[in-house]
Amino acid sequence: MFLGPIVFIALTALMTDEQALTSRLWPDQWNWDNFAEVFARSELLTWTANTFLYASLATVFMLASSIPAAYALSRFRFRGGKVAFLVVISAMMLPPQVVAVPIYLVWARLGLTDSLWPLILPMLFGDAFSIFLLRQFLITIPRDYTDAARVDGCSDVRILFTVILPMARPAIAAVALFSFFYCWNDYYGPLLYAGVDQEGWTLSLGLATFKAFHSVQWNLTMAATLLVTAPVIVVFLFAQKVFIEGVTLTGVKG
């Protein structure tokens, strides 16, 4: 069931223009030149580099900001802690379209539109879903570990890096993959901020435009689709064990 659509895309990508418009499923001849044609007719390498830069920086910034926030919400008892956690949950339920216009105006006044920075820089302030998921995992770690480290003289920062992070690697890997895949497939954000210059587009935006210009050449469209989806499929296949472990070990303890 999972491989069916991928096989169909791969077979169509190797067909001729004429056969791609028919009901035949098996290529009459294997046209490997379709992939080279995609690179010749589009800025696929540039889009890939932009997408990788966007996804990588956004994921790193998200981890750098969300891990300390999740650690504080799961380990520290302070006034307003429950309110802060409710704010995180509320942020998860806020549709991005609701605040799209005012946020766009802010970035426009800062002169950062027509680029991907309005999508990357906000990750320095944390991601609500990642904070929630990490917090739910961290509260399942027994406090005996952190209490023993604190008795030995460890500061909270050292406890975070030497005790918590090694034990939370499955959850960190899970939220990192969630963030990376979301950014890789993101279409709405680049559509708002990337501008009209193809040099600044991502793969999702470029693929949509490529499909519009080659709407009857389904072999080229499928070849481009296969090239765009192949990296994330490979990443998931290699990281699926730690990804599934991180998701399943993340409880819903309050």
Residues 200-230 have pLDDT tens digits of 899 999 888 888 777 777 888 888 888 888 8
Distance CA(206)–CA(186), nearest Å, equals 11
DSSP state of 152: T
Q: Please, which residues have CB within 8 angstroms of residue 106's CB and are 6 or more apart in sequence?
A: none
Q: Please, which residues have CB within 8 angstroms of residue 243's CB and are 6 or more apart in sequence?
A: 173, 174, 177, 236
For 181-202, give the DSSP string.
HHHHH--HHHHHHS-S-GGG--
| Radius of gyration in angstroms for the set of CA atoms belonging to the chain, rounded to a whole number | 22
User: What's this model's pTM, rounded to 2 decimal places?
Assistant: 0.83
Determine the residue type at 128: A
Q: What is the pLDDT of residue 242?
A: 66
Mean pLDDT score of the chain, rounded to an integer? Answer: 85
Beta strands in 27-127 (DSSP E): none
Confidence of residue 252 (pLDDT cuts 50, 70, 90): very low
More confident: 185 or 233: 185
- H/E element holding 240? helix 218-249
Alpha helices in 76-196 (DSSP H): 81-92, 100-109, 117-120, 128-138, 143-151, 156-159, 165-167, 169-185, 188-193
Token pair in block for residue 92? 């998860």
Confidence of residue 64 (pLDDT cuts 50, 70, 90): very high
Q: What percent of the chain has pLDDT over 90?
A: 25
Residues 156-194 have pLDDT tens digits of 888 888 888 888 888 898 899 889 989 999 999 999 998
Residues 114-153 have pLDDT tens digits of 899 999 999 999 899 999 989 988 888 888 888 888 888 8
CATH top-level class of 3-249:
mainly alpha
